[in-house]
A and B are shown apart, each in its own frame.
Chain A
């Protein structure tokens, strides 16, 4: 059993996360949606899910110190789980209907914890990400308790109890990067899944031996992404431009080259140098001649093209000379047999891209996987 001396876990709950789900609203972003959900009889679920996480945390690590903010944003869940949390008062107490600003303020207030648990969905993860960016190097590692309607980001454990358990059993201090992805809710309500990558959060590294318990986040084991990056670099040829799409895996390729490529943008590198960073479609089209595309899988749906990287248009694609798709084995396994997806907006381009592709899953390791149009 893990020891508890000095280990402090912070807790932030977005009390309105998940409201829209039960009301069939496909998300809870914005006060209007929240009001509509409440009017439709929706009941908040994130507080109860956070309490489940705290119960699992206390079971895995008895005597752990818990710190949170007053009321529905943490204290209520902690007490419901039988904990006596330390409380950090916010300068401006949250109103009953909390907002993104309240989540950010709570994260900033809990900056000194060893690990911050937050309960919510992808929207909440974005708010946490904003606060973590503000804190810079001072930010603690975080772990999401899935409680929202949309939970596609890699920073979430697979369930509330799994989050608490992982937090309790995490003693190594090792972390990995996990992507924060969110869907455009308006488009989602129209039946279109449009994941977009917002950034990365540092989350506890799940123990590889026990990842079968699924107590970990969707993030891969330490070293996996670096192995993929090493493989891509070993395939790079002199004089050939490489277009690095958005994502933590493609950014790791930049890192392996010693380059500070962007996380969210599309960059072009050649001969170990950045040719252009965070380029728009027009500029990219001018640089794409003979280039090799290096793309990772965005979010949990398997999108490779057409979501979050629309700069890589059919025009750009028509000029490129190759494609490398990157994903961890865990990410492919999580697709449950569903294909990778392309949706560039041009049927002919999509058709040409469809078929079996080689997905780089590690250093000198790849998997042949189906890619299809949406």
Chain B
């Protein structure tokens, strides 16, 4: 065994195996799992392409063969990779082994992302609508429209809002739609001069990013000494230029702002709108509602709170909810129901269409199925379980010497922790601890910038994880913290059990080297 392998093993297992019992030795499992990720050196799928290679989709028996009309045929075939079915299967299975996907690990380390279980049974329902055509006549999609209508009403009930649009294809698309509605609302009242959007440091940064992209000036409120957004700062910030407050509650610290209605009232007092980013709604479902606090509009991330896959695992989905006053500005089309049939209409002053067809229909079906399976009481049970899991995990994590959770406040569904004490003692940084944790098959991200909480990490266990899952996660963190004390250089050298051990991150900051598509890769890197 190499020296490195010996060290890795020593650090990974923590202790030696027990003596065998009787004739047949039974060895107990080591305290932490001996994970090792696969390495396949798998090429990009375009590099696997060979001319003429095909996979065959066998048609349904008896289905008529239909030729596409000449008018809608491509002049040139699309430049897609050409592969056989087993090559495709092998390619994606290998890739799946080279990452730590949501279905593989105890995925509590992506605080603010609400990585809950996406029930597989719902994929079967989603598959039913996979071949829906975006331009299909409404009388042929009444069932789908009924699901849309019912989900809109459910989300309206959950948020207290009057109307809901299910058009957005992601959380940020929903936030951008919110900004567009805020702009359209003020413009309709002759108040287009309102050019400032107020947000808080611990609100989701996409609010600042979307509003700035839409042309607004961003005013950020810092936390006060108790970790709440500073209400005195809000008083200093509001004025005739205020278009809206865009705020998350609980914030990304997991702290719920109990004075949120005062924030909303202050913004209303100067003619601004209050917009609720409900990305962190998982701990408040059935307990409190956006409209009850006076918010004018807001959105849910169906891929967070309502269990559909995140964008990295498939297209996501957002839901924008608004008060009656803002309903004419919703993105369209929205689903109508006249008591007998469902239709589509674009609201009178709609900001327009923001996604082809009806949006990400498979995820609408998944979210609908998830809510239907739980019922109203079930949604509240989700929130209570998520908060219970979070507070249990917090009690475990804070037992690890060197951790802390700034501001001595109750948390809802997540906690932004700090390794400051451990880092000062050992010189090992939070990011390095997170990377070493990946050697045990889990991971975490640090947090959004700037790091007001020093050496941060943010955990959100949701309702999906068992006590054993959370115990395992906390045990891994405790083990790595102990390693950092005993051998900081070893932790800094991690990961040892991953597909790729170390990368040079410099190109990640260099847009000139980025290649988000195969075409860009060929152009930039292969000439």
Is the pair A2, B504 in contact by a Cβ cutoff of 8 Å?
yes
Contact of B456 among A212, A330, A368 (CB under 8 A): A212
Tell me if A347 counts as interface (CB < 8 A to partner B): no
Query: Which residues of the other chain, A, contact B217 by a CB distance below 8 angstroms?
Result: 364-366
B427: nearest residue on chain A (CB-CB)?
Answer: A161
Q: Does B404 contact A (CB under 8 A)?
A: no
User: A365 to B218, Cβ gap below 8 A?
Assistant: yes
- Are B220 and A364 touching (Cβ within 8 A)? no
Q: Check A212/B236 contact, CB under 8 A, given A2-B504, A366-B218.
A: no
Residue-wise, chain A 335-374 has the 8 Å CB interface mask toward B (1 for contact) of 0110000000000000000011110010011111110000
User: CB of B189 within 8 A of chain A?
Assistant: no
Q: Which of A100-108, A175-183, A202-210, A243-251 contacts B (4 or more CB under 8 A)?
A: A202-210
Contact B220 A365 (CB under 8 A): yes
Question: Which of B212, B225, B236, B456 is close to A365, meaning CB atoms less than 8 Å apart?
Answer: B212
A187 at the interface (CB under 8 A from B): no
Given A366-B217, A367-B219, the answer on whether A356 and B212 have CB atoms closer than 8 Å is no
Let me know if A171 and B222 touch, CB within 8 A: no
B508 touches A (CB below 8 Å)? yes
**Set of chain A residues within 8 Å of B225, measured between Cβ atoms:** 337
A234: min CB distance to chain B, Å: 10
Annotate B212-234 by CB proximity to A: 1 below 8 A, 0 otherwise.
10001111111101000010111
Task: For the complex, count residues of B whose C-beta is within 8 A of A.
Answer: 43
Within 8 A of B (CB), among A297-354: 329-330, 332-333, 336-337
User: Is A80's beta carbon under 8 Å from chain B?
Assistant: no
Chain A residues within 8 Å of B219, by CB: 358, 366-368
The prevalent SS among residues of A at the interface is mixed
- CB-based contact B429/A367 at 8 Å: no
Cα A210 to Cα B427 in complex, Å, equals 15
With known contacts A211-B449, A356-B232, A361–B429 Cβ distance under 8 A: no
Instruction: With a 10 A CB-CB cut-off, give which of B234, B237, B508, B509 has the most chain A CB atoms.
Output: B509
Count of chain A residues with a beta carbon within 8 Å of a chain B beta carbon: 36
Q: Which residues of A contact B223 (CB under 8 A)?
A: 337
Q: How many angstroms from the CA of A370 to the CA of B145 in the assembled complex? A: 51
A1 proximal to B (CB < 8 A): yes
Question: Complex Cα distance A358/B234, Å?
Answer: 11
Q: Which residues of A contact B218 (CB under 8 A)?
A: 364-366
A59 pairs with B212, CB closer than 8 A: no
Q: Which of A169, A213, A356, A368 interacts with B220 by CB under 8 Å? A: A368
Minimum C-beta distance from A157 to chain B (A): 12
Q: Specify which of B427, B449, B489, B492 is in contact with A212 (CB 8 Å cutoff).
A: B449
Give the distance in Å from the alpha carbon of A357 to the alpha carbon of B508 in the complex: 35
CB–CB A213/B506 < 8 A = no
The reply on A214 being an interface residue by CB < 8 A is: yes
- B451 within 8 A of partner (CB): yes
| A59 in complex: contacting residue of B201, B489, B504, B506, CB < 8 Å | B489
> Which residues on A sit within 8 Å (CB–CB) of B456?
212
How many angstroms from the CA of A159 to the CA of B429 in the assembled complex? 12
B287 an interface residue at 8 Å Cβ cutoff?
Answer: no
Interface residues of B in 399-446 (CB under 8 A from A): 427, 429-432, 446
Q: Does A172 contact B (CB under 8 A)?
A: yes
Can you pick out 16 interface pairs between chain A and chain B where the beta carbons lie within 8 Å of each other? A59-B493, A169-B506, A208-B449, A210-B505, A212-B431, A212-B455, A213-B429, A333-B452, A337-B452, A356-B237, A358-B219, A364-B216, A366-B219, A367-B219, A368-B219, A368-B221
* 9 residue pairs, one from A and one from B, having the closest CB atoms: A356-B236, A368-B233, A333-B450, A364-B217, A213-B429, A367-B220, A212-B446, A329-B450, A333-B452
